[in-house]
Amino acid sequence: VEQHGVVDGIYRLSGVSSNIQRLRAEFEAQRSPELARPVYLQDVHCVSSLCKAYCRELPNPLLTYQLYDKFADAVAIQMEEARLVKIKEVLKELPVPHYR
């Protein structure tokens, strides 16, 4: 996405539904589809749409339910430097698979 998707709204706009479903099927069947295929390069939004769908469908979000309140408290800090320090502290509490 970053290499070929330097367009406005890449993570905001949705891709073509049929392309998203095709890409999902390829990931499920092959685990590593060829993202440089013309169909995906012409509709790079389908790649970002599938990535967002994957994150939405996780049983436990990347930032975890358990740390939600800590993240909310951290981003509410007014002073930018203190906010960043607190966010980094909370990030270190994430489970290892979420932190890589």
CA-only gyration radius of the chain, Å: 17
pLDDT, one tens digit per residue, over 9-63 is 667 778 889 999 999 998 889 778 888 888 887 888 888 898 899 988 988 888 9
- The domain of 35 spans 17-57
Do 23 and 52 reside in the same domain of the chain?
yes
83 falls within a domain: yes
6 falls within a domain: no
Do 52 and 71 reside in the same domain of the chain?
no
pTM: 0.67
2 falls within a domain: no
* Identity of the amino acid at 45: H
| Cα 91 from chain centroid (whole Å) | 16
Number of structural domains the chain divides into: 2
Do 51 and 74 reside in the same domain of the chain?
no
